[in-house]
Homo-oligomer: A and B are copies of this chain.
């Protein structure tokens, strides 16, 4: 609850903008906002996604698409509903996503022989190759940058805490 030392200089409300010799407009005080988990979480998430996109730009993969490929690889024989729900994606919204990946020949839908309603998802050879390259880029660029900023130990602690929140909140 300690507001740290954010009370540096109460903003003079009566001061006109651009008064002295072109003052640099002084940044706003975030105040309690910098202690709000939701705020900081959202800003960090945007930065991380942005960095992810840059790191795998050559493969044209979004974080969501990367997660689909990873999950399909890790779970052979599963259908759309299972993969989508595990990722928190609603079935209707998963259709266009798969259409995209399938049109790029990264994964394929296979009619199940057990249940002819469902589509088993598999990675194509190209999909496997792209995923392998994506993992390398993520490890050598994305994670590497994160380790620069936080250090390895902190990075692991961070992920552990976020997982706890994601699962137990």
Residues of A within 8 A of B (CB): 1, 11-17, 25, 27-52, 63, 66-67, 70-71, 73-78, 82-83, 86, 88, 114-115, 135, 138-139, 142-143, 145-146, 149-150, 154-155, 157-159, 161-166, 168-169
Contacts and interface: CB of A to CB of B under 8 A. Distances in A.
* Number of identical protomers: 2
A159 B28 contact: no
Given A74-B30, A165-B149, A166-B40, A1 B45 contact: no
A169 B157 contact: no
B45 A63 contact: no
A40 B1 contact: no
Contacts of A36: 66-67, 70, 138
B63 A38 contact: yes
Nearest to A154: B161
